[in-house]
């Protein structure tokens, strides 16, 4: 492994009122090629809070977060986008009156390189997520799954080295999930480090090389997807005793 870790979180604490969501949370994601980490955990386990803390949308109570060696806790949210951290939201946040191209170009104009034409880079990003033919469509008229892909393209257009995805497969049909997995594997192979919160185990096994599980504000499991399926901790606290692994559990990994 060369260079600093893609993401290093240590001693991170966050509480909302009396609810301690993260307590002394620690997670390190090395900047190795072909890295993708899936974060599991029940609703309320703090997965989205973790992403919001990393991207500085909410302030941390205590702890330290570095991204590619840069301490980010003193920085505003826009710093992350301008230094190679892209993110998506569980429910896509798009300009619904704008075209797909306009939405993605907004990302290119805001955090990407200032040279070159934003529309061209936006079109290229849409092509990467398989939406080349949809560039002229108004975002508000698109199905939910397609909106999530548009948002993914907007995160891609800023040229991220670390991509944080909040439940990318939530609300998607099986076919859309299948296409999404293909897109994410291609992104992983292109050198982008992925960190995804996800409940859909089929997507997790297809995309993630490493699985961590959050419970009670800390990580209670850390291993590869196959180990996660077999882990008594994960089965008891998250998957449920009757869970059957997806048919192709080895995945492409």
Residues 168-197 that bind other proteins (CB under 8 A): 174-179, 181-183, 185-186
Q: Which tokens hold the place of 212?
A: 């961590």
Rg for the chain, CA atoms, rounded: 18
| Least distance between other proteins and beta carbon 230 (Å) | 19
Q: Which of residues 198-237 bind other proteins (CB under 8 A)?
A: 202-203, 205-206
DSSP state of 116: S
| 8 A C-beta contact, residue 27 and residue 212 | yes
- Contact predicate 26/65, CB 8 Å: no
Residue (64 or 82) nearer to other proteins, CB = 82
Residues 102-131 that bind other proteins (CB under 8 A): 102, 105-107, 109-111, 118-119, 123, 126, 128-131
Identify which of residues 58 and 230 has a Cβ nearer to other proteins in the complex. 58
Choose between 220 and 253: whose C-beta lies nearer to other proteins: 253
Cβ-in-10-Å burial (0-12, 13-18, 19+) of 175 comes to exposed
Site for other proteins (CB under 8 A): which residue of 36, 146, 193, 231?
146
Number of residues that bind other proteins (CB under 8 A): 71
The distance of closest approach from Cβ of residue 128 to other proteins in the complex, given in angstroms and rounded to an integer, is 7
Contact call for residues 166 and 160 (beta carbons, < 8 A):
no
36 binds other proteins (CB under 8 A): no
User: Which of these, 198, 199, 187, 191, lies nearest to 155 by C-alpha position?
Assistant: 187
């Amino acid at each position: 492994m060369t260079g600093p870790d893609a993401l290093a979180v240590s001693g991170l604490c966050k509480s909302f009122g009396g609810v301690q969501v993260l307590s002394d949370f620690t997670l390190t994601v090395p900047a190795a090629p072909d890295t993708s980490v899936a974060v599991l955990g029940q609703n309320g386990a703090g997965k989205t809070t973790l992403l919001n803390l990393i991207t500085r949308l909410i302030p941390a109570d205590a702890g330290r977060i570095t991204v590619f060696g840069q301490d980010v806790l003193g920085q505003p949210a826009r710093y992350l986008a301008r230094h190679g951290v892209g993110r998506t939201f569980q429910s896509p946040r798009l300009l619904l009156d704008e075209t797909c191209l306009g939405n993605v170009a907004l990302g290119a104009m805001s955090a990407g390189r200032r040279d070159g034409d934003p529309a061209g880079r936006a079109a290229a990003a849409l092509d990467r997520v398989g939406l080349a033919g949809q560039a002229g469509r108004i975002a508000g008229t698109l199905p939910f799954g397609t909106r999530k892909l548009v948002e993914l393209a907007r995160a891609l257009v800023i040229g991220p080295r670390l991509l944080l995805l909040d439940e990318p497969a939530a609300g998607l049909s099986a076919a859309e999930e299948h296409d999404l997995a293909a897109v994410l594997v291609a992104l992983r192979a292109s050198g982008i480090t992925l960190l995804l919160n996800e409940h859909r185990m089929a997507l997790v096994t297809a995309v993630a090389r490493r699985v961590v599980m959050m419970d009670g504000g800390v990580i209670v499991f850390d291993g590869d997807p196959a180990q996660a399926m077999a882990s008594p901790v994960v089965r008891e606290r998250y998957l449920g005793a009757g869970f059957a692994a997806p048919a192709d559990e080895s995945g492409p990994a």
